[in-house]
Every structure is written in C-alpha cells, then in structure tokens.
Amino acid sequence: MSDIILDVQHLNKSFGSKHVLKDVSFSVERGHIVGLVGPNGAGKSTIMKAVLGLFNYASGQITIDGDAVSPTSHQAMDKVGALIEYPGIYPFLTGMQHLKLFSKETTSQDQIDEIVDRMKMTTYIDRKAKTYSLGMKQKLGIALALVNRPKFVILDEPMNGLDPQANKDLRTIILDLAKQGTTFLISSHILSELEKLIDDLVVIDKGQIVYKESMATLESGGKRLLVVKTSDDDKATTILTQNGYQLDQTAGVSIIETDDTKMADVIKLLSDNGIDIEDVQHVHSDLETSLLELLKNDKVKES
Amino acid sequence: MITLVKQETYKLLHKKSTPAVSIALLIIMTVFGVLSKLYPKYWSAKGMFTTMYTGGSWVVLFLIAACSSIIAMEFQYGTIKELLYRKYYRGEILVSKWITMLIYSIYFYALVFVYSLILKVVLYNGKFNLTDTYANNQSIIETQFMNLIGQFLSVWLVLSLVLLLANIFKSTAAAISIGIIGYFALSVVSGLMFVLMQKWDWLKWNPLNMMNLPAQLTSDTYHKMTLLSTPEMICGSLAYTAIFMAISYVVFKRRSV
Ligand SMILES: Nc1ncnc2c1ncn2[C@@H]1O[C@H](COP(=O)(O)OP(=O)(O)OP(=O)(O)O)[C@@H](O)[C@H]1O
Ligand SMILES: [Mg+2]
C-alpha cells in the first residue's frame, strides 16, 4: 500500500467555455488532514465533486487508493464519505432514518448510535428533518459522511452554521479519526478553525493550485514578531533601530524576531534608556495572514 | 441493485402521502360504488365494475405524481450528490427508481382490481355474474381485465415520458402538468386526430394514438379508428416507452451534479 490515498493529476474541467480547473495536481497522504482553501469561486467544491466521480472532466487522472475515479468508475467510492456544499436531506425522514438509509450492511446500529452520540444529536435524531435548524442539518450531513467509517472523508465547509461547542466537538472527532488512520480533505473559510486541524495545506485560486505545503513549512516561513507597548513608542523605535533591530512597519513597535533575538535584551535595552514597558507579546503570523499574503502575491504575479 | 430498490422503497413508504393516497383511492372507489348503487339511472352497475369504479383514472394521477417526484425530489432536496457519489453506477441508481415505480404501479393496479371485486361482492352480490357477457363477446371479468392491461401499458407510456421530463427539468411541477395534460388530452384531441390520420396514414404511429389501447382491447370495432391492429398497438406502446426510458438513461448518465 502506498502512502498516497488520493492522487489528482493534471485535472482540467470546464463549464461551457469557462475553464474552471486548470491543470490541477495534488495528492493527499494517508492519515493526513488536508485543508483546501481559496477564495469564493476558486474551484474547491468543483475539485471535490470531480474526486467523488460526480462529473466528467476534460482531462486528467484521479485515483483513490490506486483505483481510478470517474463518473463511470465508482468502486473506490466504497471507501469514501462526503459532505459537499450543503447536506442533502429528505424532509420527511428523521435523522435516524437518514443514517439507516445510507448506512452499509456492515455498519451496525451501535456504530450509528456512536456517531449520533458524538455529534450530540440524540435529543432530536428521531424528529423529522424538516423541523431541523441549519446547524442540526449540517451535523446530520457530517454524521452521514462519517457513519460508514470511511477511510477517506471529504468535507466541504463542514463548520458552516455550527455553534462554538459543535465546532469543538467536530474538531475532536476529526482529530480522533485521523489518529486512527482516516484521511480528511477539508475545505473551509474559517481559517482559525482549519488551522487547528490540518497537517497540509493546498491553496487554490482561480482554478489553479498556487501553494501546497505542510503546515510546518508554512509556519516556519512566516514572520514572528515581538510587539512591545511602551511609555514612549517613538523613542523606543529610534533606540531599537540604532541597536540593529529590524522593525516591522505595520503596528506599534514590532520587532522582527530572528533566532538570536532575546526578549530579555530588548527589555534591558529599553529600560536602560528610561522607557517603561507596559506589555510584550509574541505574534506569529497565522494562517489567515499567510494566506492573504499568498493570494495577494499571486494576483501581482498574474497582472 | 436490490439494496438500491430497498432504499427507494424505504423512502417511498416513509412519505406521508403514500398511505394517504392509497386510502383516498379506496374511499373514492367506495363513493362511486355506492353512488352507482343509489342512482342506477346514471351509472350502470356493470360499466362501473369494468372501469374499476373510476379507480383506474385516479391511479394514473397518483402514478404520474409519484414518478415525477421520485426523480425530481433528489434534485430539489440536494440528495442527488449523496445518491451518486457511492460505489453504485449511475445507471443502477436510475434503474432502481424505475423498478420501484414498476412495483408501485403493479401494487396500485392489484389494489384497484381486488377492491373492485370486493365492492362488487358487497354491493351487487347476486345482481350480475362476472361471467356474464358484457360486450364484444367478452365476459365482464374479461372486459375488466383487458381494461386493466390496456391501461397499464398506456399508463407506462405516459410514465416513461414523465420520468424523462422530471429528469430534464429537475422539477415536479413541469413533469406532473405535462404528464396529466398528455394523458387526458387524448379525449380532447382524439376526434381531430382520427380525421387527420385518415388523411396522413403515417400519423397512426403517433404516441397519442397508442393510448387508445384500453379502448381497443375492449371493443371489436375500435381498430377502424386507430388504423392499427392490437398487436401493433401493444408493440408501439412498448417501443415508445423504451425510447423515452432510453433518453432518460442517457440524460441521467451525462448530467453534472
Ligand atoms: N454547474 C456549474 N455550471 C457553471 N459554472 C459552474 C458550475 N459549478 C461551478 N461553476 C463555476 O466554477 C467555479 C468554481 O466553483 P466552485 O463551486 O468550485 O467554487 P468554490 O471554490 O467551492 O467556491 P466557494 O468558496 O464559494 O464555495 C465558479 O466560477 C463557478 O461559477
Ligand atoms: Mg464551494
């Protein structure tokens, strides 16, 4: 068995004359949680649908666990669970009936009950789905994606409409399953949530992959700042610059940290010069900052 | 495939409208049975029985609604993605829906047939025998059975069209209205159609003419109007049904969701 569970090579897809996916190639390692992010209309849902064999594509190859996937080749889908865009729900069935309807013969009632319990849906699972709120439907959609214990799970904006507690529960479930070997491909605009989950990041913009790296690489590439709040910011800025510290222009007194920046040295330098320090903070650039930077650069490149 | 048919049946049975429709059908048939008993001037007892106490016409309506909704609801509720991304082939998903509808239509006609026998026994016991000659040298029960077979074939011609339209428009409204108009248009336009057919012989192969099958099966003169022999008509009906189903299949397989 290879370490790659999903492999997408040179995928091209057009809707009419609109070229929506342009030579998209990426792969997903077994057991990893991969984030797929990009602006609205970038093509995230389209990639996911192609991976699920929901439509024909002009050219390219998609394989899941070594089996080719296309609308006419669906064997690999036995290992896949998915929630795309919004959950499809029959208003006249209860949540439990949905889970029974879509569960495989090999899925036991205990397994169904377990996912209901973990998603905290027990109080309303026997109610008709037409009475569900947005978040309740979303949870049911996630439960449907997970109920058959698939090896590979695709979630398109799963945090949509979930309250903070449900978000946290979902995170715990995903991390648990990943630890047991389940692979996830997750798209989301809630980067602060996504950041807590993912091992790897794939960024897509206007149908092209613009970035694919592990989170570790992304984090080490970002700027780290030491932000100090003082009684006299102007004076502090002058003194720090004179002493060879690189300052970031964005906000207040922000020292760009290098490997030999020591907080103690900074504090000593400033207090020796009669400046009082009110607050010191380490600031890591988060996924949002990195991503916005990335997409900004890309636009510059294109024009 | 059996799993898929089971899933479709599960959905059908859990709709509130499913049991409601069956009960409504029995009530309507009972009402017409009682009316024909009370006012024999307006309705002949034997005629009522051979047309299954109007049950046949209602079944058409209910089946048109069921066929359009079994396809269109998946698009309407967004469940089509869940259905299609699984290990099954697309064709299998569609065929499982057709089989479910076939079973449903057989159920309906069996229900109507059995219940009309019950109504006959309860309301008209001893009034007439099922083996009495009705018309066209056929006994009453034969006439009723021929009606049933003819209706079944011509209804499936309409249903195949409804299934196709639901597939193309992804909406129940369009499929239902065209299906109902199509089925009941016959009585409105058949006069004109027969005239035109005298002029242009090939017109006899048009699908609306095929829908005269129940009338032809229970009459020995009708073929002079339809210009087709009964076997020709049966084959014609089946051929049109097959064509509409085939187009449906192609449309469904090529659809992007
Ligand atoms: N059925 C369709 N017909 C025509 N164009 C489509 C269709 N589906 C998607 N598109 C186009 O494909 C592009 C990518 O859409 P997609 O839904 O994949 O975006 P996305 O990255 O998921 O965006 P979002 O963050 O808003 O969900 C868009 O420009 C959209 O207009
Ligand atoms: Mg999307």
Q: What is the pLDDT of residues A158-178, one digit of tens each?
A: 998 899 999 999 999 999 999
| A88–B77 CB contact, under 8 Å | yes
Cβ partners under 8 Å of residue B199, min gap 6: none
- Report angle CA B202, B205, B210 to the nearest 5 degrees: 150
Output the CA B81–ligand 1 centroid distance in Å: 15
Q: What is the pLDDT of residue A252?
A: 73
Q: What is the pLDDT of residue A300?
A: 44
In a domain, A297, yes or no: no
State the pairing for strand pair A152-156/A80-83. parallel
Q: What is the pLDDT of residue B39?
A: 83
Domain shared by A172 and A211, yes or no: yes
In a domain, A291, yes or no: no
Q: What is the pLDDT of residue A222?
A: 63
Report the half-sphere exposure of A24 (CA within 13 A, side-chain side).
Answer: 31
Q: Which of A40-44, A65-69, A249-253 has the lowest mean pLDDT?
A: A249-253
In a domain, A294, yes or no: no
In a domain, A13, yes or no: yes
Domain shared by A87 and A235, yes or no: no
* pLDDT over threshold 60, residue A303: no
Query: What phi and psi values does residue A155 have, to the nearest 5 degrees?
Result: -125, 120
Domain shared by A31 and A73, yes or no: yes
If you write DSSP's letter for every residue of A77-133 in order, what string do you get? Answer: GGGEEEE-SS----TTSBHHHHHHHHS-TT--HHHHHHHHHHTT-TTTTTSBGGG--
Q: What is the pLDDT of residue A301?
A: 47
Secondary structure E strands in chain B: 133-135, 138-139
Q: What is the pLDDT of residue A176?
A: 94
Domain shared by A129 and A14, yes or no: yes
Q: Are A149 and A111 in contact (CB under 8 A)?
A: yes
* pLDDT over threshold 70, residue A73: yes
For residues B207 and A290, which has the higher predicted lDDT (pLDDT)?
B207
Q: What is the pLDDT of residue A259?
A: 72
Q: What is the pLDDT of residue B129?
A: 75
Q: Cα distance from A4 to chain B (closest Cα, Å)?
A: 20
Domain shared by A26 and A141, yes or no: yes
Residue A192 belongs to a domain with what CATH number?
Answer: 3.40.50.300
Domain shared by A142 and A257, yes or no: no
First-residue to last-residue Cα distance in chain B: 22
Domain that holds residue A95: 4-219
User: What is the mean pLDDT of the segment spanning A119-124?
Assistant: 93
In a domain, A127, yes or no: yes
Q: What is the pLDDT of residue B188?
A: 80
Domain shared by A123 and A259, yes or no: no
Q: Which residues of A touch B77 (CB under 8 A)?
A: 88-91
Q: Measured between alpha carbons, how far is A31 from A176 in angstroms, rounded to an integer?
A: 11
Domain shared by A255 and A176, yes or no: no
Tell me what ipTM this predicted complex has: 0.85
Rounded to whole angstroms, what are the CA distances from A249 to A21, A225, A230, A283, B109? 38, 11, 16, 14, 81
* pLDDT over threshold 90, residue A52: yes
Q: Measured between alpha carbons, how far is B105 from A158 in angstroms, rounded to an integer?
A: 40
Residues pairing with A154 in the sheet: A82, A185
In a domain, A154, yes or no: yes
Domain shared by A176 and A247, yes or no: no
Q: Which residues of B touch A49 (CB under 8 A)?
A: 81, 257
Q: What is the pLDDT of residue A302?
A: 47
Q: What residues of chain B score a pLDDT lower than 50? A: none
State the sign of the Cα–Cα–Cα–Cα dihedral B240, B242, B244, B247.
negative
Domain shared by A270 and A123, yes or no: no
**B 63-92 near A (Cβ less than 8 A):** 73-74, 77-82, 84-90
For residues A266 and A22, which has the higher predicted lDDT (pLDDT)?
A22
Q: Measured between alpha carbons, how far is A44 from B223 in angstroms, rounded to an integer?
A: 61
Instruction: DSSP letter for B235, please.
Output: H
Q: Measured between alpha carbons, how far is A216 from A284 in angstroms, rounded to an integer?
A: 13
The ligand with the least distance to the CA atom of A49 is 1
- Supply B174's token pair: 């369009």
Q: Are B30 and B119 in contact (CB under 8 A)?
A: yes
* pLDDT over threshold 60, residue A209: yes
Whether B257 and chain A come into contact, CB under 8 Å, resolves to yes
Domain shared by A17 and A154, yes or no: yes
In a domain, A299, yes or no: no
Residue A243 belongs to a domain with what CATH number?
Answer: 3.30.70
| A92–B14 CB contact, under 8 Å | yes
User: What is the mean pLDDT of the segment spanning A90-118?
Assistant: 93
Question: From the centroid of its chain, how far is CA A20?
Answer: 21
Domain shared by A111 and A168, yes or no: yes
A-B contacts at Cβ under 8 angstroms: 69
From the list A228, A160, A151, A137, the residue with the least C-alpha distance to A185 is A151
The mean pLDDT of chain A is 86
Q: Measured between alpha carbons, how far is A182 from A174 in angstroms, rounded to an integer?
A: 9
Q: Measured between alpha carbons, how far is B220 from A191 in angstroms, rounded to an integer?
A: 76
For residues A136 and B195, which has the higher predicted lDDT (pLDDT)?
A136
Domains of chain B, residue spans: 2-254
Q: Which residues of A touch B85 (CB under 8 A)?
A: 52-54, 77, 80, 82, 84
Q: Are B244 and B160 in contact (CB under 8 A)?
A: yes
Q: Which residues make up the environment of ion ligand 2, defined by Cβ < 5 Å?
A: A 45
If you write DSSP's letter for every residue of A256-278 in order, what string do you get? Answer: EP-TT--HHHHHHHHHHTT--EE
Q: What is the pLDDT of residue A251?
A: 64
Secondary structure E strands in chain A: 4-15, 18-29, 33-37, 59-64, 67-68, 80-83, 152-156, 183-187, 200-205, 208-214, 224-230, 247-248, 253-256, 277-284
In a domain, A9, yes or no: yes
Q: Measured between alpha carbons, how far is B192 from B185 in angstroms, rounded to an integer?
A: 12
Q: Are A166 and A120 in contact (CB under 8 A)?
A: yes
Query: What phi and psi values does residue A47 have, to the nearest 5 degrees?
Result: -60, -45
